[in-house]
Structure 1
Amino acid sequence: MPEQGLHHRQGDQLGIGDLRCDPDLPSPDRLIDDWFDIADETLTAQREFAKALLAFGSPMIDAVSRAAMRTIEATQEATREATREAAEATTQATREAMEAATQGSREAPPEAPRTTRASSARRDG
């Protein structure tokens, strides 16, 4: 009997007690069930919390999505408008360049024919 008391005291010093002699301790099966029950309750609470966050944030997500769509549409419209304006400006510049070229060819005096030595010799000769 003194050995059992000594063993009990050594276990107490380690903070674990005498597992073989304490009938009030739960069985290992009971401990496993308790731990998994706690884990299940924790996961359930986390799931509910995550769903609540999503429900709370959902209107914000919708608002951000709508704002993004408006930004995309405005950017597309601005791009179409800039492209149209650039095409019109290019067309106008091309017309003006063609008109200037046509006008310039009408106003320029005709060039004198170039003479070669042979034609000069015939004329002089």
Structure 2
Amino acid sequence: MGVDMNYEFQKKSPKGWDRVNDNFSNDRSYLLYSWLGLDARNTWGVAAITPLRGLPDDIELQWDEDGCDDYWGEHSQTWLLSDEILASTSPVAIEDDEPGSVVAEFCAEVQRIHGLHGTVRIVLGFTG
């Protein structure tokens, strides 16, 4: 069983934070997950951009009958700003690790959305 990321890009509006559509494939990459703060699968010793923060104050978990949040994931919820991601040095894949391309794709999508909307928030959690 693997771990998957649940995420949402959001832009600030007068009403709060609004979802932004994205083109990220969300292919599984423990290298990316480690960089975003998930320590459980960090076999590379990658430094996280920031320690896990939990969900932002304006978002609450919605538990289902199985005790899971289907939207934000089962564990390790956090959020980051596009400025933080773009200012951080992205991890480099080791030993021809193919998931390194997912990191590059994610960074390119953060850059694209940041260019369209300015600073955006990425809220995420993990399942599995």
Q: TM-score, normalised by structure 1?
A: 0.18
Select the structure with the greater relative contact order (CA < 8 A; seq sep ≥ 6): 2
Higher helix share: 1
Structure with greater Cα Rg? 1
Higher strand share: 2
